[in-house]
Amino acid sequence: MAQFDIYRNANESTASLIPYLVDAQHEFHESLGTRLVIPLIRNMRQVEGLYLPVEIGGEVLYAAVPEMGGVLLETIGERIGTLSHRSSELINAIDFLVTGF
């Protein structure tokens, strides 16, 4: 698993609202049984800099940084792509959430 790869959400109870998860955890911690993920959600919140628009398969979803959390590996489905090209934006959003700047 690579940092900022996109995975299908294998959790049937949340997949309709959160179809994908972005792995925010560095590969150095790959041996853990959990991953820190950023959910890609269908409805946008009005907090600039914390909800980043992402287009997947013609649909605009939002990387919901304030809603990131730890999940078990078995709730992560197949890899469908990567947001590594947007790593700076994602890291900036995480930093903004934690530091306020």
Q: Domains in the chain, start-ordered, CATH in brackets?
A: 5-99 (2.30.30.110)
Q: Within a 13 Å sphere around the CA of 31, how many CA atoms are in the beta-carbon half? A: 1
Beta bridge partners of 51: 64
90 touches 6 (CB < 8 A): no
The tens digit of pLDDT for each residue in 23-44 reads 998 877 777 888 999 999 998 7
Interval 67-81 mean pLDDT:
91
Banded model confidence at residue 4, pLDDT cuts 50, 70, 90? very high
Would you say residue 45 has pLDDT above 80?
no
86 CB-contact burial (10 Å; exposed 0-12 / middle 13-18 / buried 19+): middle
Using DSSP, state whether 11 is helix, strand or coil. coil
Residue 83 in tokens: 């947001």
Q: Can you give the pLDDT at residue 21?
A: 96
Rounded to two decimals, the pTM is 0.90
